[in-house]
């Protein structure tokens, strides 16, 4: 596993604008990929989430979301340290759930697969449209360049549950290809459940292109919604 800082990724500042996360890049204030997906969430998914909240109770639903967010943050921090060669003695003997989840991703999803790293926790942007932070940009992962996202879950996931993940990846890949002239054609989700069950999901080729088309439709929908609110 080697670093090759082939591309000059931009620095950015993040801030809330009209209640949604934005990135300030090159004098542009761009909405985040996650903000776009949130604002344009399909009605059926919004209703499904509402039904789940009603079923478990709003308080428990908030607790569950917070716990998942905290797990994800800590797991990402450990994986970032590993990729940057900073996972040193201060984490030896760490038996927290997040460390064990990160270990599963390292052992099953990164070791002997990831050969060249272009970037980690890097800001990517599509000029005039959107921005986001990619967990891992790989120059060589099993022989291919790709963008990888790390996820955590409370239970194993099925592929068709991952639409938002694939839309997110397709946005990052489109941004990288646009700004840096690359031809990345693969996105990967490396996921571990809180019970240490590892999963890998790959979206590539024609299927990735379909998600890219869907994502840009959501981008246009986002701006249509935002602009309609400005007119009032």
Residue 163, helix vs strand vs coil: helix
Give the per-residue pLDDT at 230: 65
Q: What angle do CA 156, 91, 132 make, to 5 degrees?
A: 55
Dihedral angle, C-alpha 32, 37, 40, 44, nearest 10 °? -160
Q: How confident is the model at residue 67 (pLDDT cuts 50, 70, 90)?
A: confident
Least confident of 15-19, 21-25, 102-106: 15-19
- Specify the pTM: 0.91
Mean pLDDT taken over the chain: 90
Measure the N-to-C terminal CA separation of the chain; round to a whole number of Å: 53
158-169, pLDDT tens digit by residue? 999 999 999 999
The single residue listed with the structure tokens 């776009």 is 36
Distance CA 94, CA 104 (A): 14
78-124, pLDDT tens digit by residue? 999 999 988 764 544 567 889 999 999 999 999 999 999 999 999 99
- Going by C-alpha positions, the residue among 232, 129, 147 that lies closest to residue 187 is 147
Q: How confident is the model at residue 26 (pLDDT cuts 50, 70, 90)?
A: confident
Give the H/E segment covering residue 88: none
Q: Does domain 2-12+22-230 have CATH number 3.40.720?
A: no
Q: What angle do CA 206, 3, 215 make, to 5 degrees?
A: 30
């Amino acid at each position: 596993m080697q670093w090759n800082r082939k591309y000059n990724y931009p620095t950015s500042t993040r801030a809330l604008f009209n209640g949604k996360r934005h990135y300030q890049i090159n004098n542009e204030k761009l909405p985040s990929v996650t903000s776009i997906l949130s604002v344009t969430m399909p009605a059926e998914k919004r209703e499904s989430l509402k039904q789940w909240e009603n079923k478990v109770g709003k308080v428990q639903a908030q607790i569950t979301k917070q716990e998942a967010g905290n797990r994800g943050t800590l797991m990402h921090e450990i994986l970032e340290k590993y990729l940057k060669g900073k996972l040193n003695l201060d984490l030896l003997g760490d038996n927290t759930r997040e460390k064990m989840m990160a270990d599963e991703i390292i052992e099953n999803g990164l070791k002997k697969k990831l050969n060249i790293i272009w970037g980690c926790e890097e800001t990517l942007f599509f000029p005039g449209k959107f921005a986001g932070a990619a967990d891992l940009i790989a120059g060589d992962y099993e022989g291919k360049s790709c963008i990888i996202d790390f996820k955590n879950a409370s239970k194993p996931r099925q592929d068709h549950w991952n639409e938002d993940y694939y839309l997110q990846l397709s946005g990052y890949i489109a941004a990288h290809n646009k700004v840096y002239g690359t031809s990345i054609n693969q996105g990967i989700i490396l996921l571990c459940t809180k019970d240490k069950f590892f999963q890998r999901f790959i979206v590539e080729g024609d299927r990735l292109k379909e998600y890219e088309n869907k994502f840009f439709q959501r981008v246009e929908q986002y701006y249509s919604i935002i602009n309609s609110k400005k007119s009032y």
